[in-house]
Structure 1
Amino acid sequence: MKWTDVQDIAIELVDSKPDVDPMQLRFTELRQWVLELEGFDDDPERCNEKILEAIQQAWIDEAE
């Protein structure tokens, strides 16, 4: 997965962090959790706030 695979990342986070409320998440935590996902293979420096916001929103949508 790459940073641009927002939907795939969100699905993985829903599965791996079922007890986490994505609305109460700090972007520093979110970034670290994405980097730790199995199958994630992208440059950490390519991450930015816009990408993290998109991942967070997709996670919220998936969790509903």
Structure 2
Amino acid sequence: MGLRWTDTIDIAIELTEAHPDVDPQWVRFTDLHAWICALPDFKDDPTKSTEGLLEAIQMAWIDEAS
């Protein structure tokens, strides 16, 4: 089935593993969007993202990284 935009915690975990040296607090939404879409398990429509979803994913990633 794959990851969808609403799978914020699972995406955050995958981003933590894919980018261990990145401080997610400073990631631009354009980069975050690209990195999410590049995840092997991500299967959602790239055009369905919103600023709110990206912010939620970024916050979950910050929590995972700390």
TM-score (norm 1): 0.98
Listed one character per residue, the Cα deviations across residues 20-60 of structure 1 (whole Å, up to 9, x for unaligned) are: 01011100000000000011001111101000000000000
**Partner of residue 31 from structure 1, selected from 33, 37, 58:** 33
**Partner of residue 7 from structure 2, selected from 5, 8, 14:** 5
Query: What is residue 17 of structure 1 aligned with on the other side?
Result: 19
Instruction: Tell me how far apart the structure 1 counterparts of residues 65 and 25 of structure 2 sit (CA, whole Å).
Output: 11
Aligned-pair Cα RMSD in Å: 0.4
TM-score (norm 2): 0.95
Instruction: Tell me how far apart the structure 1 counterparts of residues 27 and 42 of structure 2 sit (CA, whole Å).
Output: 20
What amino acid sits opposite 1:52 in the alignment?
A: L
Aligned length: 64
* Dislocated runs of 4+, deviation >4 Å: none
Structure 2 residue runs without a partner (length 5+): none
